[in-house]
Chains A and B, each alone.
Chain A
Amino acid sequence: MKKNIHESVAGFFVLIGIILISYMSIKLGHLDLFISDSYLLYAKFQTVNGLRVGNPIEMHGITIGEVSSFSLDQENQMAVAGLKIDKEITIFADAIAGIKTAGLIGDRFVSIDPGGAEKQLANGEYIIDTVSPVDLGELIGKFAFGSIKENK
């Protein structure tokens, strides 16, 4: 009898351990097993250079979601970013999405201006007005080469 109780207690702790480990892996792996509290919008860019899955989506500087996937639109030669956005945030059809850089060489994030003059966007729809990012290195290059040429 006593042996049985000891084994049950040990089993109980092992069970708690397993539950904790699976909870942690789900949280750390950004998996949505349960009801999703966000919806998905898409945006096409010329390039998503530097943007990674999991990078934040911001509106007025506040994080409202994260980048969830990338795919290619081969017909138009564009990159399509999937944007997971919190359910309580409404975004309208005239929204503008842009890829920005935090600081001078910091991480990339998606900045959204929600718009408001047209209809509300639903799950799976596209943000049509997008601003593709500027390659800072390219700009510096242009500036440098330009100034050299002008000095000639």
Chain B
Amino acid sequence: MRYPLRNSLLLGFLFLFTAHSAFAQSPLERVREKVDAIITIVIEAKKKQTLENTATREKLWSQVDTIFDFNTLSQKSLSRNWLAMNDEEKDQFVGLFRKLLGRSYLKKIESYDNENIQYHREVFFTPENAEVLTTIESKGQQYDLNYRLLKKEGEWRIYDVSIEGVSLVSNYRAQFNGFLRKGTIQELLGSLKTKVEE
């Protein structure tokens, strides 16, 4: 170490640079990183038989919370009904919807069995809105799995997932609209609650 100062400065710059590039990730890199992270946790937990532990659960949920934008997801799924809700109802809805979707997502991921995931490309609709196209190969069949992401505060987050051309938001919007044509928001929250508690 002849130049300790220079070396440490270099190291510092290198660190800064990598930290910066992690922040300015492309949507595709972001999805790949998060999906890989979740799969790694699941595989490790399966090996140690700790999939049902609260520690593993918390780890998985914290990953889910950093990649999914449940707020936008709820807003888009409710569309015009979102405006009719007060802040308290909105919070309650986002909380319940997060639990419902997160749980079904984790359930799917937990059955991961070395399926081959291919990341094809990313498509920009606006500079803040992109779609990441992937396919999953399972038991010899290929499924198109596309993620819609929104850039919020410099970070890409998923707000819609479509499997084989069927969009999650579009599907839930039709369901919620249908429900709210006859029922009230309180009834919707109630039925979501019973669904989550099941």
A residues within 8 Å of B by Cβ?
44, 46, 76-78, 92, 94, 96, 98, 113, 115-117, 126, 128-129, 131-134, 139, 142, 145-146, 149-150
Which residues of the partner chain A approach B126 to less than 8 Å between Cβ atoms?
126, 128
Which residues of the partner chain A approach B80 to less than 8 Å between Cβ atoms?
92, 115-117
Q: How far is the CB of A114 from chain B (nearest CB, A)?
A: 8
Tell whether B8 is near chain A: CB-to-CB under 8 Å: no
Given the interface contacts A76-B123, A98-B170, does A132 sit within 8 Å of B79 by beta carbon?
Answer: no
Whether the pair B164, A134 counts as a contact (CB closer than 8 A) is yes
Whether the pair A113, B173 counts as a contact (CB closer than 8 A) is yes
Given the interface contacts A131-B170, A145-B141, does A76 sit within 8 Å of B79 by beta carbon?
Answer: no
Q: How far is the CB of A11 from chain B (nearest CB, A)?
A: 58
Q: How far is the CB of B73 from chain A (nearest CB, A)?
A: 12
Instruction: Identify the closest chain A residue to B165 (Cβ).
Output: A134
Interface residues of B in 72-87 (CB under 8 A from A): 75-76, 78-80, 82-83
Whether the pair A129, B165 counts as a contact (CB closer than 8 A) is no
Whether the pair B140, A149 counts as a contact (CB closer than 8 A) is yes
A145–B140 Cα gap in the complex (Å)?
9
Which residues of the partner chain A approach B129 to less than 8 Å between Cβ atoms?
128
Chain B interface residue number, banded: 20 to 34
Whether the pair B123, A142 counts as a contact (CB closer than 8 A) is no
Write out, one digit per residue, whether chain B residues 5-18 have a CB within 8 A of any chain A CB (1) or not (0): 00000000000000
Contacting B75 at CB < 8 Å: which of A44, A46, A117, A139?
A117
Given the interface contacts A76-B123, A134-B165, does A150 sit within 8 Å of B79 by beta carbon?
Answer: no
Instruction: Identify the closest chain A residue to B143 (Cβ).
Output: A142
Instruction: Identify the closest chain B residue to A127 (Cβ).
Output: B125
Whether the pair A131, B165 counts as a contact (CB closer than 8 A) is yes
Most chain B beta carbons < 10 A, residue from A96, A98, A133, A142: A96
Which residues of the partner chain A approach B82 to less than 8 Å between Cβ atoms?
117
Write out, one digit per residue, whether chain B residues 143-182 have a CB within 8 A of any chain A CB (1) or not (0): 0000010000000000010101111011001100000000
Instruction: Identify the closest chain A residue to B170 (Cβ).
Output: A96
A115–B81 Cα gap in the complex (Å)?
9
A128–B131 Cα gap in the complex (Å)?
11
Q: How far is the CB of B94 from chain A (nearest CB, A)?
A: 14
Instruction: Identify the closest chain B residue to A152 (Cβ).
Output: B140
Whether the pair A115, B79 counts as a contact (CB closer than 8 A) is yes
Which residues of the partner chain B approach A150 to less than 8 Å between Cβ atoms?
139
Which residues of the partner chain A approach B125 to less than 8 Å between Cβ atoms?
44, 126, 128
Which residues of the partner chain B approach A128 to less than 8 Å between Cβ atoms?
125-126, 129
Instruction: Identify the closest chain A residue to B162 (Cβ).
Output: A131
Which residues of the partner chain B approach A78 to less than 8 Å between Cβ atoms?
123
Contacting A117 at CB < 8 Å: which of B78, B123, B133, B164?
B78
Tell whether B191 is near chain A: CB-to-CB under 8 Å: no
Tell whether B105 is near chain A: CB-to-CB under 8 Å: no
Instruction: Identify the closest chain A residue to B124 (Cβ).
Output: A76
18 sampled A-B residue pairs with Cβ under 8 A: A46-B133, A76-B123, A78-B123, A92-B80, A94-B76, A96-B169, A98-B167, A115-B79, A115-B80, A116-B80, A117-B79, A129-B170, A131-B162, A131-B167, A134-B164, A145-B141, A146-B140, A150-B139
